[in-house]
A and B are shown apart, each in its own frame.
Chain A
Amino acid sequence: MLVKVLKVVGQIILLWIIYWLGNQITLLTGIKIPGNVIGMALLFGLLFSGLIKLEYVEDGASLLLKHMLFFFVPYAVGLMNWGEVFYNYGLILALAIVLGAVIPFFVVGYVVQLIHRGDKSC
């Protein structure tokens, strides 16, 4: 049990180090890509090249991903300061959310089916 806990903690520390490296790359190069995206690409590259084996990060990663929704809660609580905006512009915001979901739903589905069907006929 203790060994398993230590293993998961160690893996999360490793993921944190990769995240930190991603942030440093963003800071040092000044590129406008979030550090977490660079970190993700970095981990993908490390896994792909075999420098990091899947077992080194898998358990820690699945724990974090399983509870990812938890991290959203503190951000969503920030809404309590934005009541006025929602009150004043509620209808437009609702429209933007609904149409901004329905239209891309259709676009992705349609485009993928079009290309995918093309694949099959070849």
Chain B
Amino acid sequence: MLVIFFTIVLTIAAYWFSRYLFLRFGSPLLNIVIISTAIVIITLVTLGIPYETYAIGGDIMTFLLGPATVALAVPLYKNRPLLKKYGLAIVVGISAGSLVSVVTAVAITMCGGLPREVIISIASKSVTIPFAVEISRIAGGNPALAAAFVVATGTFGSVLGRDLLTWLKITDPVARGLSLGTVSHGQGTAMALMEGEQQGAMAGMAMALAGVLTSAIAPFFLPLIVK
């Protein structure tokens, strides 16, 4: 019981510390999730606390993730004029991006001969964690692994995404925001917000819609192609 309490306090402390570092120095390399996770894992391993014990407190801590996802409807609702104005570009762009993202990751890992559980878990790598966790649970993947791939993709996108888009000659602010949100979800949205308000609003919308689209399609589609 005391151990569970300790793991919760540890996670909150690690989060506050990483968040402080990020806000203080503002570098995308100071990724909040990676630093917090590293602190927690190193502490658990040092003290010999198994993941199974940590997971009890983990369930308590992630209790509010569901309502947090529902809350994504709020920025979406606030930006509904943009949704209407760029409707076609938004829907086509995000659908194409989500599809390509799933297909690329699944194709590469299938060719590489990875276990089925891993392939299904990597499929949802571009959608924000609450969606990815649900998708992998429904489709037969592993939620923790799915979450890890999401964080890896988000980190890649937030560190290199903006330079990459410039290099690919994607200069339109709407297009940049949508790319960042579709591919690297919340972490990409944070970077898009740093670039500009329009990019940020577009990225937030892309994150939400990519999550919804992938959640609606992936659970049907994955069991058919990944044997």
Whether, in the assembled complex, A100 has its beta carbon less than 8 Å from a beta carbon of chain B, the answer is yes
- Select which of A36, A77, A105 is within 8 A of B37 by beta carbon: A77
Most B-side CB within 10 Å, residue of A58, A97, A104: A104
Contact in complex: A68, B88 (CB < 8 Å):
no
Contacts of A85 in B (CB 8 A): 114-115, 118, 145
In Å, the complex CA distance between A35 and B66 comes to: 9
In Å, the complex CA distance between A90 and B40 comes to: 22
Interface residues of B in 123-149 (CB under 8 A from A): 125-126, 128-131, 133-135, 138, 142-145, 147-149
Contacts of B201 in A (CB 8 A): none
Given contacts A64-B64, A105-B165, contact A100 B101 (CB under 8 A): yes
Contact in complex: B153, A115 (CB < 8 Å):
no
Contacts of A78 in B (CB 8 A): 51, 55, 58, 143-145, 147-148
Residue of B nearest to A116 (CB): B89
Interface residues of B in 58-72 (CB under 8 A from A): 58, 61-62, 64-72
Contacts of B143 in A (CB 8 A): 75, 78
Contacts of A119 in B (CB 8 A): 86, 88-89
Most B-side CB within 10 Å, residue of A61, A89, A92, A97: A97
In Å, the complex CA distance between A107 and B114 comes to: 26
Q: How large is the interface on A (under 10, 10 to 19, 20 to 34, 35 or more residues)?
A: 35 or more
Contact in complex: A40, B69 (CB < 8 Å):
yes
Contact in complex: B170, A76 (CB < 8 Å):
no
Most B-side CB within 10 Å, residue of A12, A101, A115: A101
In Å, the complex CA distance between A68 and B78 comes to: 19
Contact in complex: B170, A98 (CB < 8 Å):
no
In Å, the complex CA distance between A90 and B44 comes to: 23
Whether, in the assembled complex, A54 has its beta carbon less than 8 Å from a beta carbon of chain B, the answer is yes
Whether, in the assembled complex, B20 has its beta carbon less than 8 Å from a beta carbon of chain A, the answer is no
In Å, the complex CA distance between A82 and B155 comes to: 19
CB contacts between A and B, total, < 8 Å? 315
Interface residues of A in 26-59 (CB under 8 A from B): 32-37, 39-44, 47-48, 54, 57-58
Given contacts A43-B70, A77-B41, contact A108 B105 (CB under 8 A): no
Contact in complex: A112, B44 (CB < 8 Å):
no
Distance from B81 Cβ to chain A, minimum over Cβ atoms (Å):
13
- Select which of B37, B64, B74, B152 is within 8 A of A73 by beta carbon: B37
Whether, in the assembled complex, A15 has its beta carbon less than 8 Å from a beta carbon of chain B, the answer is yes
In Å, the complex CA distance between A97 and B147 comes to: 13
Whether, in the assembled complex, B208 has its beta carbon less than 8 Å from a beta carbon of chain A, the answer is yes
**Which of B's residues lie within 8 Å of A, judged by CB?**
11-12, 14-15, 19, 32-34, 36-37, 40-41, 44-45, 51, 54-55, 57-58, 61-62, 64-78, 80, 86, 88-90, 92-94, 96-98, 100-101, 104-105, 108-109, 112, 114-115, 118, 122, 125-126, 128-131, 133-135, 138, 142-145, 147-153, 156-157, 161, 164-165, 168, 170-172, 174-176, 178-179, 182-184, 186, 206, 208, 211-212, 215-216, 219-220
* Cβ contacts A to B, 14 pairs, < 8 Å: A12-B67, A44-B77, A61-B73, A65-B74, A68-B186, A74-B61, A76-B148, A80-B44, A85-B115, A89-B109, A104-B182, A108-B94, A109-B165, A115-B89
